[in-house]
Amino acid sequence: MTDPNAIQPSELDQLPDRDPEETAEWRASLDAVAKAAGPHRAAYLMRRTLERAEGTGVALPKLLETDYVNSIPTAAEPAVPGDEAMEARITAWNRWNAAAMVTRGSKYGVGGHIATFASAAWLYETGFNHFFRGKEGDGSGDQLYIQGHASPGIYARAFLDGRLSEAHLDKFRQEAGGSGLPSYPHPRRLPWLWEFPTVSMGLGPLSAIYQARFNRYLTNRGIKDVSASHVWAFLGDGEMDEPESTAALALAAREQLDNLTFVINCNLQRLDGPVRANFKIVQELEAQFRGAGWNVVKSLWGTAWDELFQLDTTGALLRRLRQVPDAQIQTYQTRDAAYIRQDFFGADPALAEMAKLLSDDKIIECFHYSRGGHEARKVYAAYKAALEHKGAPTVILAQTVKGHTLGSGFASKNANHQMKKLTVDEFKQMRDLLDLPVRDSDFVDGQVPYGHPGADSPEVRYLQERRAALGGPAPARRVHPLAPLPAPADKAFAAFDKGSGSQSVATTMAFVRLVKDLVRDKETGRRWVPIVPDEARTFGMESLFPSLGIYSPKGQTYEPVDRDQLMYYKEAKNGQILNEGITEAGSMADFIAASSSYATHGEPMIPFYIFYSMFGWQRTADQMWQLGDQLGRGFLVGATAGRTTLTGEGLQHADGHSPVIAATNPAALSYDPAFAYEIAAIVKEGLRRMYGEAAEGEDQNVFYYLTVYNEPMPQPAKPSGLGIDEGIVKGLYRFNTAESAGLTAPANAPRIQLLGSGTAIHWTLKAQQLLAEEWGVAADVWSATSWGELRRDALEADAALLRGEERVPYVRQALQGAEGPVLAVSDYMRQVPDQIAQWVEQDWSSLGADGFGLSDTREAARRHFGVDAESIVVAALAQLARRGEVKASAVKEAREKYGL
């Protein structure tokens, strides 16, 4: 028989033991405890030993899961400063008005959520009264990521402190008139209140991490000291299933972001039912966060449970709490004391004896109401512990009851997320429970009244005094008057006007060269924030490494392998480049934080995020929408763009549709420049519009999306003539005519207008030459820098016509008088150029790369999609043949000649 204390050979090989006899004694002790006192006692001793080791700094694997109890014992809870009774009255009014607002709005069918804030009220109120720093004090204040479904409670508090009126509350989710309240935190809709859009679940926690990281970036780079700012993210336990919610936990721990606290409202319910019906979400989250390196604080049980824990001399209560799945905890909250006695306490003889000492009222109080997230002292203790913990971010797991105080018809019911109103009788029950001075006669015609103790009441004075002490109202968004950033010297842009001569240059390289010049600008260079997801070398950005440095809060603690090379890999604490690794979502979160720094911190930053175009809008379009909502500004750059330019990579790398997705975002100005000088003109205009002297009525809260290509091509000089820059910015200008290109065509030759965007203009120019030399057709070539901006202008013209204003779309103005039909060509699907078809007066046709991409040479891919020069020629001849301007036989002849 094998001796259980014997050290196995594998252990000797891997972990040399200096004292095998001592090891055997420890093992024998553990076996003896398990035999004499049972495995539960042995497990208890091991857990306490591990906790002791962790607390004294012994290097052991972290304990990933602790008992299902509060992290901070009652005896260790600090006293709550201030007036707890007063705060309870304030919270009661907020609960009432949040429910009243949603209920009153329900008659219009606009929806709303009541149960989430009901569960989280104390999580917010404790923060507002004691922790959340406002923007009117020193620094930037704290950044609050409010859980989207809790917005009615935030509106209710703003009503109490005088920032909103009853008229505002009655316009909840009714914004069309201009004075309504948005459903959720939407800065674009309510820019003086909301800072961060959070209701696209998962994006809030991800953004909060990168916001906390960006705060450190600003401080370490010497832009602004925001070290006093703390980021608070309020999340739901169900929301943590979103992959974005936990995508950057390791980053936060690795960079020791102790300026960040997650507060997860663990009401054990998601939209349709329990979060983990057969399991325990709190324990799962604790293990996940501890494993990622976070500090975890659990606030699960209220003070009513203290008596039960004191009676638990055998550990039976702790064991039972670990065993009971969340769905059963939810059931206890809806059942009577007899059921709980039988099902919970009856499962263990020791618990059955304990239950004999408890009254029915005590059992109901514990299982129906008493939760750590519902008591100010428990929440205060958790928040204080979070702020005092250094070296790691903190997550607070606060257990609550969804629908708390809304009555038995709401609390813990699976459907409560979809329940939009309370009856008058339920409101009266709520009034009695919260002890509010609302009379029966205040319910006029069956409508619930709003409640307010008065502008000069003790409650309102207390609330306002607490906020004044903490630096002003919260949440709040402030955009302090900022002087426009000075424009960079013209020479940085003019350098591209002369072209590249005989040298072939990809537009990706042209953009990078422009940025290299702009970051050297003495006035604005330090405000650029280059962001790249581990593809800097792909985009030719490695030359920026030694000059700008890659940001790292640790600096560079090693000697880089390429230290002897000119473009060595340099990390620095004040590095300017954010090289994020393989995470487009993280890079977008970086971009959002930087793009809204002008409001968050009063420091305008100029982010540019460069990425594989295929992995931008397709992968993170939700974050681009978040960016627009957050009023962000900056440059998104889709590199290695187009469906046919990225040789060999194949289907998942071949972008043929990002401009289509970009066109759906009202804040995005999407451009597909063909030449280096066009890129320079667009970036120059973008800097003016977003950061410089905006024109009257011009919205500065936009962002630019530029597609750039990896195909080296000769870069022509900017054409001479008036209106070129205007045409580049507006989306269309004539690059040349057949005559200015030096092409000879017969007198009265058929003429066609060829519109090309991005890299497609090079095939279009070749087609222009073939048409003239081989088919006697004169073609004019136009550069369509932005199909999307052309469409946007045309839509605005249509809207003006409905208002009785005469306005001609720019595309129609530009093409006015142009002879012949129009053929548009793009390296994207035909839907991209077809955006403007209805506003073009000439006969319209288009070519594009529809379908899935494929791996092959550029030439073969273009022939496959029918967008190469020869295909353009055939399409042009077919268009002219339909008009009777060339013989129909010419189309067949051309197809055969070019092997199509």
Tens-place pLDDT, residues 235-278: 999 999 999 999 999 999 999 999 999 999 999 998 888 999 99
Q: Radius of gyration over alpha carbons of the chain, in Å?
A: 33
**How far lies 159's CA from each of 146, 164, 181, 724, in Å?**
17, 4, 12, 53
- The pair of structure tokens assigned to 806 is 């005469």
**How far lies 167's CA from each of 58, 112, 172, 474, 491, in Å?**
60, 17, 9, 21, 54
Which one, of 406, 401, 466, lies nearest residue 431 by Cα? 406
Q: Compute the C-alpha angle 462/463/466, nearest 5°.
A: 85
152-163 pLDDT, tens digit per residue, is 999 999 999 999
- Decide: 283 and 65 in contact? Cβ < 8 Å: yes
* For the chain, percent of residues with pLDDT exceeding 90: 83
| Count of CA atoms in the C-beta half-sphere (13 A) of 540 | 19
Exposed, middle or buried: residue 15 (CB in 10 Å: 0-12, 13-18, 19+)?
exposed
Spatial distance between the Cα atoms of 470 and 198, rounded to a whole number of angstroms: 24
Is 28 or 11 the better-scoring residue by pLDDT? 28
Spatial distance between the Cα atoms of 633 and 771, rounded to a whole number of angstroms: 43
What was the pLDDT predicted at 3? 52
Look-up of token digits 């109202």: 473
Spatial distance between the Cα atoms of 690 and 774, rounded to a whole number of angstroms: 47
Query: What sign for the dihedral angle of Cα 533, 539, 545, 547?
Result: negative
Spatial distance between the Cα atoms of 722 and 714, rounded to a whole number of angstroms: 24
- Decide: 598 and 187 in contact? Cβ < 8 Å: no
- Decide: 714 and 504 in contact? Cβ < 8 Å: yes
Q: Helix, strand, or coil here: 235? A: strand
**How far lies 179's CA from each of 152, 186, 476, in Å?**
16, 14, 17
814-838 pLDDT, tens digit per residue, is 999 999 999 999 999 999 999 999 9
Average pLDDT over residues 861-885: 96
Average pLDDT over residues 487-495: 93
Amino acid at 30: L
689-739 pLDDT, tens digit per residue, is 999 988 888 999 999 999 999 999 999 999 988 889 999 999 999 999 999
In 10 A of CB 382, how many CB atoms?
A: 26
Spatial distance between the Cα atoms of 343 and 248, rounded to a whole number of angstroms: 40
H helix runs in 221-333, sequence order: 249-254, 281-292, 306-311, 316-323, 326-332
Which one, of 883, 877, 884, lies nearest residue 775 by Cα? 877
Is 13 or 636 the better-scoring residue by pLDDT? 636
Spatial distance between the Cα atoms of 430 and 432, rounded to a whole number of angstroms: 5
106-153 pLDDT, tens digit per residue, is 888 898 888 999 999 999 999 999 999 999 988 899 999 999 999 999
pTM greater than 0.85 (yes/no): yes
What was the pLDDT predicted at 11? 40
What was the pLDDT predicted at 412? 59
Spatial distance between the Cα atoms of 362 and 368, rounded to a whole number of angstroms: 10
* For the chain, percent of residues with pLDDT exceeding 70: 97
pLDDT at 170 over 60: yes
In 10 A of CB 189, how many CB atoms?
A: 16
- Under the banding of pLDDT at 50, 70 and 90, the label for residue 323 is very high
What was the pLDDT predicted at 178? 81
What was the pLDDT predicted at 407? 75
